[in-house]
Amino acid sequence: MHPDTLFSTRIAPPMIGLGLLEAIAEQDILAAADPDDADGDGISGRPNIVWDRQQQRSVLGRFGWKAGQPNLNQQNADAFANDMGLTTTLIAHDNCTQAQPDCLAAVNGGVPEVSDNILASVLFYSRNLGVPARRNVDDPQVLKGKSLFHQAGCQKCHTPSFTTSADAAEPELANQLIRPYTDLLLHDMGEGLADGREEFLASGREWRTPPLWGIGLTQAVNGHTQFLHDGRARNLLEAILWHGGEAEAAKQQVLKFDADERAALLAFLNSL
Ligand SMILES: [Ca+2]
Ligand SMILES: [Ca+2]
Ligand SMILES: [Ca+2]
C-alpha cells in the first residue's frame, strides 16, 4: 500500500428505523447544530455536507458513521458498490483503481449489475424495517437510569425525540413522533476514537452520533455486543468509557456514578 493510504475499520450499523431518520426535516437537524459552541456547554455538533449524486449538488449528510451519505438510496448504492463490488445506475463503475487491471477486467453481472428494480426494492426494505418496541419502560431501575442519562448530559448528542416531517417519502413515515436518540450531527470524540480519515466535512476525529433505539436488542439480533464504529467496545459500558472530546464531561459523570447508578444507566440503555 502507498504510505499515504488511509485505513478505517467499520462495523455494519443496525438497519432499523432508517426511513424515519431520513424523514426528519433538515431544519430540525440544523437547528441543533452549534459549530462554534456558542452556548459554551463544550458540545459543538456540526452537520456534514455531502455530495448527492442524483441531485448533483451538496446537501446535508445523514447516513454512515460520519454522515457521509445524504439519503438511503445512495447509502444502499454505495454499499453495493464499495462493500460488494456491484454497480447500479447511481454508481455505474466498479471501484477498481487504474493500478488494478485484474479488478478492471473481472467479469461482471451486467450493466448495471443491480437493476433499478432491485435497487428500489432494497430501498423499500431498508426504509421500512421497523424499530422494536421498548421493554421494561416502567421498571424503577430503568426510570432511574433514564434520569441519570439526562443528568450526565448524554441527551445533548443522543437527542431523545423528533417528529418526522409532513412530506416524508411515504405517508407512513410522515408526522411520526420518534425516539432515535441521535442528533445526526458530527462530534469530535477525542483522540482515542479518532481514525484520522476525513469524509466531506467530517474530520479525522469526528463521528456522527449513532441512534440508540433498539440497542438493547443487539445481543438478540446480532449475537454479540460489539459497539462503536469499529466494534472495539465489548459492551455498552465500554462504549461509554471510550467517549472523549466533546463527550468527555458526560463520561466523567458516568465515572462518578456508583455501581447501582451505572447498573441503572445500563438497564435504561438495554430497555431501548
Ligand atoms: Ca454547545
Ligand atoms: Ca465539534
Ligand atoms: Ca462488479
What is the widest separation between alpha-carbon atoms in the chain? 62
Residues with CB under 5 A from ligand 1 (ion): 34, 37, 39, 41, 43
Percent residues over pLDDT 70 in the chain: 100
Residue 138 is assigned to a structural domain of this protein: yes
Question: Mean pLDDT across the stretch 39-64?
Answer: 97
Q: Which ligand is nearest to the Cα of residue 245, counting in written order?
A: 2
Count of domains in the chain?
Answer: 1
pLDDT tens digits, 176-223: 999 999 999 999 999 999 999 999 999 999 999 999 999 999 999 999
DSSP string, the chain: --TT------PPPP-TTHHHHHTS-HHHHHHT--TT-TT-SS---B--EEEETTTTEEEE--BSTT--BSSHHHHHHHIIIIIH----SSS-S----TT-HHHHHS--SSSSSS-HHHHHHHHHHHHHPPPPPPS-TT-HHHHHHHHHHHHTTGGGTS---EE--TT-SSGGGTT-EE-------EEE--TTT-----BTTB-TTEEEPPP-TTGGGHHHHHSS--BSTTS-BSSHHHHHHT--GGGHHHHHHHHHS-HHHHHHHHHHHHH-
Rounded to whole angstroms, the Cα distance separating 251 from 192 reads 13
Residue 125 pLDDT > 90, yes or no? yes
pLDDT tens digits, 220-254: 999 999 999 999 999 999 999 999 999 999 999 99
In this predicted structure, what is the pLDDT of residue 2?
86
2 C-alpha vs ligand 3 centroid, how far in Å?
24
Q: Which ligand is nearest to the Cα of residue 88, counting in written order?
A: 3
Q: Which three cell numbers stand for residue 98?
A: 487504474
Residue 214 is assigned to a structural domain of this protein: yes
* pLDDT class of 1 with cuts at 50, 70, 90: confident
Q: Which ligand is nearest to the Cα of residue 111, counting in written order?
A: 3
Question: Mean pLDDT across the stretch 21-47?
Answer: 97
Q: Which ligand is nearest to the Cα of residue 188, counting in written order?
A: 2
- Compute, in degrees rounded to 10, the torsion defined by CA atoms 236, 253, 154, 137: 70
Percent residues over pLDDT 90 in the chain: 96
191 C-alpha vs ligand 2 centroid, how far in Å?
13
Q: Which ligand is nearest to the Cα of residue 94, counting in written order?
A: 3
Residue 108 pLDDT > 90, yes or no? no
254 C-alpha vs ligand 2 centroid, how far in Å?
21
Residue 102 is assigned to a structural domain of this protein: no
In this predicted structure, what is the pLDDT of residue 62?
98
pLDDT tens digits, 254-272: 999 999 999 999 999 999 9
Q: Residues in the chain, how many?
A: 272
34 C-alpha vs ligand 1 centroid, how far in Å?
5
Residue 108 is assigned to a structural domain of this protein: no
> Angle at which helices 259-271 and 140-151 pack, to 10 degrees?
100
Question: Mean pLDDT across the stretch 28-40?
Answer: 97
Q: Which ligand is nearest to the Cα of residue 153, counting in written order?
A: 1
154 C-alpha vs ligand 2 centroid, how far in Å?
15
77 C-alpha vs ligand 3 centroid, how far in Å?
12
In this predicted structure, what is the pLDDT of residue 166?
98
Residue 9 is assigned to a structural domain of this protein: no
In this predicted structure, what is the pLDDT of residue 199?
97
In this predicted structure, what is the pLDDT of residue 118?
98
Rounded to whole angstroms, the Cα distance separating 49 from 39 reads 23
- Contact between 213 and 162 under an 8 Å Cβ cutoff? The reply is no
Q: Which three cell numbers stand for residue 164?
A: 418526522
Q: Which three cell numbers stand for residue 134?
A: 421498548
Residue 147 is assigned to a structural domain of this protein: yes
64 C-alpha vs ligand 3 centroid, how far in Å?
22
33 C-alpha vs ligand 1 centroid, how far in Å?
8
Residue 146 is assigned to a structural domain of this protein: yes
Query: Poorest-confidence range of 87-101, 112-126, 228-242?
Result: 87-101
47 C-alpha vs ligand 2 centroid, how far in Å?
10
Q: What is the mean pLDDT of the chain?
A: 97
Q: Which ligand is nearest to the Cα of residue 84, counting in written order?
A: 3
Residue 120 is assigned to a structural domain of this protein: no
Residue span of the structural domain in which 56 resides = 18-74+129-271
In this predicted structure, what is the pLDDT of residue 223?
95
Residues with CB under 5 A from ligand 2 (ion): 44, 188
10 C-alpha vs ligand 3 centroid, how far in Å?
21
